[in-house]
Chain A
């Protein structure tokens, strides 16, 4: 008896070590250790040449609660919020159409979302820049049609940053929405209509409540990375619409204050974890986030 159980024990654990082992090693060295290093660095000091000095200080965090930084957090949250709202408003009808259509165009419509997703987002954002710039396509067209006399400066506005963000993140909204809407049982919509509900009532009574999990995970998928994105606000916002991501980038590059950048990163990670926790608390499915 004991022999058999010993054998079973072995045969069950060996593959686990083989399969999970390498991943665990990778995770420890590429995620856990760097995170610890970042956390440690966030409590380090710098000398006058901004070299990292391994002496404990909480000064970095104290700096981060100053009014200037708080303003940027607020701005980041605001941009991320508007991006998320716009993504829902644009993504929901679109997802609904592609998920519920029975025509052969379904795949084509789906590809319309997926293909830009495969292209480097940096290139796509530069595309927007050359489209919206003073000598860009949009201004040239408007001027040649004599709708305007001089170019409108579309760039370097908060709205433009939001536009770029929405453009970057819409697939992250559409995919979970699509999954949720496609799962929706068509006979429920028929039942609702049969019981006297006009389409708008069916939308609010049946469709939205039953696809709420998709909306929810889409929002998380958009809101969280949006907070940390820096190149959209860099390229389209031109430094006028700084976000947390820009601050981090600047501390590590031009300002060369790594401990401060590390402290900012830790704050961003904490905010993210907090949001994911809220999502979980509200009954969100972690699988829908791809984690």
Chain B
């Protein structure tokens, strides 16, 4: 196992529109890496640069250690599964899947054997002579995947391949894709805006935001230790509090918020008087009816929402911000409108550097100068 795809300092500009900003990503061999982000974050552009449909404005892209920026798409040993499938409407399913092998001038007998084998693998046997227009969305998707995989690419690029399918089919295809990826041991670079899809399928996720990778880590790491405020709010539900670190003792920081001080675990990268954000997942939040040591938060219960086995409490802070607190259903609860004291175990919260802190710091430096 080694590095298979390496993006170094990749920038992409359309005119003055900076779509991808100084991107550095390394993809390990056999890995399932997802580029996750909302639309317009540059994830598809990144994928298209690896495929060769777009040229990076600056920076280098290496596949298997070899620079490929200068290579045309047909010279690259990567294949793409398109969001719109892009099946050739005038060719049968067999000929669609055989296309790549035909271009490589593989002998006819071998093409036939490999296509039929591939069709069996994606459960499309018997569809050889049909045309793409005669297939359902899910079947078209399988053809698109088979057509790319049959070339045995070192890297398979998938651009929101399941975006057009309904929920049930999408879930099924997610598992199938994962199974294929493990079976064939091909590196997958997968683009999606669906965070659940990313969390279930990926070995690692790169969260992109405004052309920048905010965090590149395993799904667990991203969920438990978001690196930026954006990542914390983008993945799953969370409560975020912006404040200023007023003291640090024994790796526990006291952060003073608009609504009072709270305590959270912190590492050595934080310093006193730094602006920071605290993120606490709803399932880690607790509350009592009497004040808690080290926490000055006070809130009013606004509503309870039952979500199956858990109960979501919506509470309101004095400044109007709402918090979500999850509790197991069946517990005794204070009535709506009563005053409660939210808190959490300091190690359950995550302290995140706040970008605006840098602005304040820069302003301070200007003042000092």
Q: Which residue of A lies closest to B90 (CB)?
A: A209
Q: Which of A84-92, A184-192, A232-240, A259-267 contacts B (4 or more CB under 8 A)?
A: A184-192
- Give the complex CA separation of A191 and B74 in angstroms: 9
Q: Are A195 and B84 in contact (CB under 8 A)?
A: no
Q: Does B80 contact A (CB under 8 A)?
A: yes
Of residues 44 to 88 in B, which have CB atoms within 8 Å of A's CB atoms?
Answer: 51-53, 72-74, 78-80, 82, 84, 86-88
Q: Does B103 contact A (CB under 8 A)?
A: yes
In whole Å, how far is B149's beta carbon from the nearest beta carbon of chain A? 11
- Give the complex CA separation of A195 and B87 in angstroms: 12
Of residues 205 to 248 in A, which have CB atoms within 8 Å of B's CB atoms?
Answer: 205-206, 209-210
Q: Does B99 contact A (CB under 8 A)?
A: yes
Q: Which residue of A lies closest to B95 (CB)?
A: A205
- Give the complex CA separation of A210 and B132 in angstroms: 14
Q: Are A195 and B89 in contact (CB under 8 A)?
A: no
Q: Are A201 and B103 in contact (CB under 8 A)?
A: yes
> Which of these, A187, A195, A210, contacts B100 with CB under 8 Å?
A195
Q: Are A191 and B89 in contact (CB under 8 A)?
A: no
Q: Are B90 and A196 in contact (CB under 8 A)?
A: no
Of residues 120 to 160 in B, which have CB atoms within 8 Å of A's CB atoms?
Answer: 147-148, 151
- Given the contacts A194-B74, A195-B147, A196-B103, A210 and B53 also touching, CB distance less than 8 Å: no
> Which of these, B51, B82, B151, contacts A196 with CB under 8 Å?
B151
- Give the complex CA separation of A194 and B80 in angstroms: 7
- Give the complex CA separation of A195 and B81 in angstroms: 10
Q: Does A51 contact B (CB under 8 A)?
A: no
In whole Å, how far is B256's beta carbon from the nearest beta carbon of chain A? 53
Q: Does A197 contact B (CB under 8 A)?
A: yes
Q: Are B86 and A187 in contact (CB under 8 A)?
A: yes
Q: Are A191 and B151 in contact (CB under 8 A)?
A: no
In whole Å, how far is B162's beta carbon from the nearest beta carbon of chain A? 17
Q: Are A190 and B86 in contact (CB under 8 A)?
A: yes
Q: Does B367 contact A (CB under 8 A)?
A: no
Q: Are A198 and B74 in contact (CB under 8 A)?
A: yes
Q: Are B74 and A193 in contact (CB under 8 A)?
A: yes
The winner among A190, A195, A209 for most chain B CB atoms within 10 A is A195
Q: Are A196 and B74 in contact (CB under 8 A)?
A: yes
- Give the complex CA separation of A217 and B217 in angstroms: 56
In whole Å, how far is A214's beta carbon from the nearest beta carbon of chain B? 13
Q: Are B88 and A188 in contact (CB under 8 A)?
A: yes
- Give the complex CA separation of A191 and B147 in angstroms: 10
A163-204 interface bits toward B, Cβ cutoff 8 Å, 1 = contact, 0 = none = 000000000000000000000010110111111111001000
Q: Does B183 contact A (CB under 8 A)?
A: no
> Which of these, B52, B82, B90, B104, contacts A191 with CB under 8 Å?
B82
In whole Å, how far is B51's beta carbon from the nearest beta carbon of chain A? 6
- Give the complex CA separation of A60 and B148 in angstroms: 65
B8-52 interface bits toward A, Cβ cutoff 8 Å, 1 = contact, 0 = none = 000000000000000000000000000000000000000000011
- Give the complex CA separation of A256 and B53 in angstroms: 66
The interface residues of chain A lying within 8 Å CB-to-CB of B79 are: 194-195
Of residues 266 to 291 in A, which have CB atoms within 8 Å of B's CB atoms?
Answer: none
In whole Å, how far is B54's beta carbon from the nearest beta carbon of chain A? 10
The interface residues of chain A lying within 8 Å CB-to-CB of B74 are: 193-198
The interface residues of chain B lying within 8 Å CB-to-CB of A210 are: 88-90
- Give the complex CA separation of A192 and B100 in angstroms: 8
Of residues 42 to 60 in A, which have CB atoms within 8 Å of B's CB atoms?
Answer: none
- Given the contacts A187-B82, A187-B84, A201-B103, A194 and B89 also touching, CB distance less than 8 Å: no
Listed by A's residue number, 9 A-B pairs whose Cβ atoms lie within 8 Å are A187-B84, A190-B51, A191-B87, A193-B52, A194-B80, A196-B103, A196-B151, A197-B99, A198-B74
- With A193-B73, A195-B147 known, 11 other A-B pairs at CB within 8 A are A191-B87, A191-B147, A193-B53, A194-B51, A194-B52, A194-B79, A195-B74, A195-B151, A198-B74, A210-B88, A210-B89
